[in-house]
Amino acid sequence: MSGSVDSRSQILASVRRAAGRDRQGESGAADRLARHSRNLIPARTDIDPAARVALFVRMAEEVNATVIRVASLDGAPDAVANYLAGHNLPAAVRVAPDAALDAVPWAKRPTLTVARGKAEESDLSSVTGAVAGIAETGTLMLASGPGSPTTLNFLPDNHIVILRADQIVGPYEDAWDRLRAEGPMPRTVNFVTGPSRTGDIEQKIQLGAHGPRRLHIILVGEPET
């Protein structure tokens, strides 16, 4: 047994030396984390802000998300209410207690019932913000925290995301940069690309198997130039 342990140690030591790490690999890992080294960036994301927004919308719609654009947060209540009515859903939403959503004038639609907090089992529709929209794949970056309970991303059948156009970045690396700039890393980061789906059931795509069956993005304003 001791011989096999020694052989294993020798092999791992050789791997560490080849990777340029110390005996325990601790300093090497710390250095890599501190550098935030970038991977190969797709050329299609190296575009101006307006084209980046257009790419995000196209990629999101290709994976069954829906996108509507409004000029400002003043248009968000109507966009939410109209979306619910268009799908014959109750005029009620559970909204993330996110300070970034405090400026939404929900009172403009008095028939829309708005509750704030984490999602409950009875909630059919949620409204959240996002850290970023990633044009590379039409993906939303969502971070957990007091103002963004993760239950809102996965429990209700209908997930509505209010995203500013200036939050759209090109590659994933830019999204991570944006998240790091906001402060300490959150406990959980979720990447959401379209509504939940699975192909495990008779090899047919089923929406809503592990989360929302609909993802609707309300895109606010224009990107910064």
Percent of the chain scored above 70 by pLDDT? 84
In whole angstroms, give the CA distance from residue 170 to residue 182.
18
In whole angstroms, give the CA distance from residue 185 to residue 178.
11
Query: CA quadruple 70, 71, 77, 81: dihedral positive or negative?
Result: negative
At 116, the amino acid letter reads R
Average pLDDT of 75-95? 98
Query: CA quadruple 171, 175, 180, 186: dihedral positive or negative?
Result: negative
Q: Please, which contacts does 145-151 make with residues 24 or more away whose CB atoms are closer than 8 Å?
A: 145/186, 145/187, 146/97, 147/96, 147/97, 147/98, 147/99, 147/100, 148/96, 148/98, 149/96, 149/97, 149/117, 149/118, 149/119, 150/188, 150/190, 151/118, 151/119
pLDDT given at position 10: 81
pLDDT given at position 38: 79
Percent of the chain scored above 90 by pLDDT? 69
Residue 1 or 11, more confident: 11
In whole angstroms, give the CA distance from residue 90 to residue 70.
22
In whole angstroms, give the CA distance from residue 106 to residue 15.
58
pLDDT in tens, 121-136: 999 999 999 999 999 9
pLDDT given at position 66: 97
pLDDT given at position 158: 97
Average pLDDT of 51-67? 97
Strand, helix or coil at 7? helix
Specify the pTM.
0.82
- Residue 197: pLDDT band (50, 70, 90) is low
Residue 21 or 214, more confident: 214
pLDDT given at position 27: 57
pLDDT given at position 208: 46
